[in-house]
Amino acid sequence: MKRRSLLQAAGMFCGAWGANQLLLSRASQVLAEPTSRKLALLIGINHYRNASLNGCTTDVQLQKELLIHRFGFQRSDIVVLKNQQATRSQIETVFTEHLIQQAKPNDIVVFHFSGFGSLQKLGTTPDDIQPVLLTADDSKEDAIANAISQDTLLLLLRSLSTSQVTTVLDAGYFYPGYSQLGSLKVRSRSSDPASQLIASELEFQEKLLVDAGLDRIQTRVKWRSGQFPGVLLSAANDQQFATETTWNGFNAGLFTYALTQQLWQATPSTTLRVNLRQASELIAKRVDTKQQPILMGQKSRDRPLKPYQIASIQSAADGVITAIEDSGKIAQLWLGGLPPEVLEVYSSGAVLKVENSDQLLQVFERNGLVAKARSLNESPNLQIGQRIREKIRALPKDTRLAIAVDSGLNRVERVDAISALSGLPKISAAIAGEQSADYLFSKVEETTQVAALNPDAMKGTIPPAGYGLFSQGRDAVPQTSGEPGEAVKLAVRRLAPRLQTLLGAKLLNLTNNSQTSQLAIRASLELGDSTVAVQQTEKISPDSISVVPSDGKLLSSPIGTPIQLRIENHHSTPIHFVILGFDNRGSGVVFNSMQNDPSQSTIAANETVSVPRSLTDWIVQAPSGLSEIYLICSRAPFQQTQALLGSSVGFVRPLSNFLDVAQAVLQDLHQASNTSMTAPDLFGLDMTSWATFRFLYQVV
């Protein structure tokens, strides 16, 4: 079978199996009509016969907790099949009995699958190729016993009596020839040209075809044109990867974790497309543009598009109380709504507020997504199912940048790299895949295309050109490549300043709280004549909310485009701000709003400012790549930060002391919070004192 045929099939499938990234904003419609029932079937398979994944069962738990605590699903209406429970016949049986036979018109249905996918030749012609979802069956000789084909899935979806169905697929289909992409695992398997569907699967399809009044040709046409019920979200588009990674204490799919985390924070005014774009930003931080979620389906163009097609949802939250211990004094928490970068370093001492009450909880233990917290009230009145919001974010002052050393390096290289990296201040190192990491240290190949491939697959082809830094998904960090023949320890020494800058960017990322801040601020990003993104805190009145059209994709901007930030202060008191960034060259920068006048970094009560004043002061520059902007607002002046920044001519200025500036920002926010609830080795940031807005866009 030719590679071209495989790619064409992948394109056709992903054009129908997950097109155009429109589903995430749908998270606000989970309660729908009071009489509608909500049914879900969640599939997660880690254990396969000849290979394994690590994050699929976590994906199922992430989805389940979200559906129950934010979208009003009853536990009894959610069926979960994990690992060996998820055989082909069992999935099809449960889909029929739990979803098809029970769902009535206008009921809500969610089908989620996390596991391996593949492209398989299922017919007699070379081009008769379909994407399939691999299930937990043992394979039979000359057959695919462990697969659900696209035909079967389409027919199952069309058999539902309701069009209010959401299908979420965290699996890949295009297999690149290796299972590891940097620090990420690839969720696809190679295809077998000799494989055919077993007779029982074909018989099951025939029954569905008869019931639907379709033939196989009609089914293929409907699938390829996206004519199937509801909306479908897929983890990646055609010719891309679906991946999973190791977080701090657990494994999960990039797509499922990003999606569910954003939906925990969704508000009734937020559209699914906006949530999807924000999830795409989280994914892009790890794999650049190698994995971009997509959306399609007959309902996918509804406006406004709400998650799971539910009209109203529970209040936004960072997590929920799942158990109560010690006579009501200790609560077990599920923290699926916290931003992943924050959860990675979430410390004992953080304080959360129980919604609609004065109850406060202080975290004293965390394992992955689960934490334990102690009530700070004299008379605790905690209940299972209560949602919680951050009150005080506790961040370790010794936060480190975690570097994964590529397992494809030889033993001496790995030992030298870990030793040299661990000797740098605030840097930790381990072999890729063993623990959560921010970046990858590996060999740099001669071309960008080759650099994206697994080193094992390229041995003996192109000589290495030294060492460099990569994202988790093996995208080269700009300007970190070394010369051929460079020693590992010399490479680490050369990279030390860049590592400190990357740590500064990580610290700024930890302040991002636009969805939970208790300040009343709105920030808008304008590219040229268009407002392309609006972020606002939950304190902004719903009557004044701005709606900006979004297609769910990562923001992009052509080189040469003017940029402005519009900042609105809806408080009765002044707000101070600073703007920092991480540009597409990999450098830390400051956007000098002061222009030698400190008053320009202050917004008066109920006023709006645009930064910069002139459109010619801030222009998108080459080369192509990702750029980030951090707008940080506070009730108090940024005294330590401004002392380090000083003043200069020009709006955009590179910062050689980016880490020092980022640490000063945290110290200023800590002092503005004026809290005594956290330990001396922690920054304690009160949600009533600051708001950080992060904008990420692709320079093209």
Contact criterion met (CB below 8 Å) for 566 and 612: no
Q: Using 50, 70 and 90 to split pLDDT, how confident is the model at 450?
A: very low
Cα(696)–Cα(700) distance, rounded to whole angstroms?
13
- Region 25-38: what's the mean pLDDT? 52
Q: Nearest Cα to 162, choosing from 309, 13, 16?
A: 309
Q: What is the 3-state secondary structure (H, E, C) of 139-163?
A: CCCCCECCEEEHHHHHHHHHCCCCC
Instruction: Please name every residue paired with 625 in a beta bridge, in sequence order, or none if there are none.
Output: 699
Tell me the residue type at 176. Answer: P
Q: Tokens 């596991």, residue?
A: 115
Cα(413)–Cα(627) distance, rounded to whole angstroms?
32
Least confident of 10-24, 139-153, 468-482, 621-635: 10-24
- Region 222-226: what's the mean pLDDT? 64
Q: Using 50, 70 and 90 to split pLDDT, how confident is the model at 268?
A: confident
3-class secondary-structure state, position 167: strand
Cα(557)–Cα(532) distance, rounded to whole angstroms?
10
C-alpha of 93 from chain center: 32
Between 479 and 139, where is the model more confident? 479
Q: Nearest Cα to 293, choosing from 331, 316, 265, 263?
A: 263
Which pLDDT score is estimated for 575? 96
- Region 445-457: what's the mean pLDDT? 45
Q: Which residues of 69-89 are buried (b: 16+ CB within 10 A; e: fewer)?
A: bbbbbeeebbbbbbbeebbbe
Between 436 and 400, where is the model more confident? 400
Which pLDDT score is estimated for 602? 92
Q: Using 50, 70 and 90 to split pLDDT, how confident is the model at 23?
A: very low
Whether the pLDDT of residue 195 is over 80: the answer is no
pLDDT tens figures, 417-444: 999 999 999 999 999 878 889 999 999 8
Whether the pLDDT of residue 203 is over 90: the answer is no
| Residues counted in the chain | 700
Distances from the Cα of 612 to the Cαs of 302, 529, 595, 608, in angstroms?
A: 36, 14, 10, 13
Cα(559)–Cα(581) distance, rounded to whole angstroms?
17
Q: Nearest Cα to 80, choosing from 91, 71, 70?
A: 91
- Who's near 460: CB < 8 A, 6+ residues apart? none
Tell me the residue type at 579. Answer: I
Q: Nearest Cα to 484, choosing from 470, 467, 460?
A: 467
Whether the pLDDT of residue 209 is over 90: the answer is no
Which pLDDT score is estimated for 563? 94
- Who's near 218: CB < 8 A, 6+ residues apart? none
Quote the tokens at residue 266.
């969704």
The pTM is what?
A: 0.89
Cα(325)–Cα(307) distance, rounded to whole angstroms?
34
Q: Nearest Cα to 624, choosing from 680, 560, 579?
A: 560
Contact criterion met (CB below 8 Å) for 144 and 200: no
| Residue 356 Ramachandran class (φ > 0 left, ψ -120 to 50 alpha, else beta) | left
Contact criterion met (CB below 8 Å) for 57 and 136: no
Tell me the residue type at 468. Answer: G
3-class secondary-structure state, position 264: helix
Which pLDDT score is estimated for 331? 97
Whether the pLDDT of residue 283 is over 80: the answer is yes
Distances from the Cα of 142 to the Cαs of 135, 192, 193, 201, 407, in angstroms?
A: 16, 9, 10, 14, 35
Which pLDDT score is estimated for 30? 39
Cα(6)–Cα(12) distance, rounded to whole angstroms?
10
Cα angle value 462/463/467 (rounded, 5°): 120
Whether the pLDDT of residue 458 is over 80: the answer is no
Q: Nearest Cα to 390, choosing from 319, 442, 336, 306?
A: 319
pLDDT tens figures, 48-101: 988 899 999 999 999 999 999 999 999 999 999 999 999 999 999 999 999 999
Cα(386)–Cα(272) distance, rounded to whole angstroms?
24
pLDDT tens figures, 319-332: 999 999 999 999 99
CATH topology of 3-309 equal to that of 319-393? no
Whether the pLDDT of residue 299 is over 70: the answer is yes
Cα(610)–Cα(564) distance, rounded to whole angstroms?
7
Domain ranges of the chain: 3-309, 319-393, 401-499, 521-699
Cα(506)–Cα(658) distance, rounded to whole angstroms?
11
Cα angle value 272/167/303 (rounded, 5°): 30
Q: Using 50, 70 and 90 to split pLDDT, how confident is the model at 453?
A: very low
- Who's near 609: CB < 8 A, 6+ residues apart? 566, 567, 603
What φ, ψ does residue 532 adopt, rounded to 5°? -100, -15
Quote the tokens at residue 1.
């079978």
Q: Which residues of 467-492 are buried (b: 16+ CB within 10 A; e: fewer)?
A: bbbbbbbbbbbbebbbeeebebeebb
Contact criterion met (CB below 8 Å) for 200 and 194: no
If you average pLDDT over every residue of the chain, what do you get? 86
DSSP track, 493-547: HHHHHHHHHHHHHHHHHTT--TTT--S-EEEEEEETTEEEEEEE-TTS-GGG---
Q: How many CB atoms lie within 10 A of CB 198?
A: 19
Question: Which class is 3-309 in CATH?
Answer: alpha beta
CATH of 319-393, one of 2.40.160.40, 2.40.10.170, 3.40.109.10, 3.40.50.970: 2.40.10.170
Which pLDDT score is estimated for 523? 96
Whether the pLDDT of residue 372 is over 80: the answer is yes
Whether the pLDDT of residue 2 is over 50: the answer is no
3-class secondary-structure state, position 383: coil
DSSP assignment, residue 575?
E
Which pLDDT score is estimated for 114? 98
Which pLDDT score is estimated for 139? 62
Distances from the Cα of 235 to the Cαs of 252, 256, 258, 295, in angstroms?
A: 13, 8, 10, 9
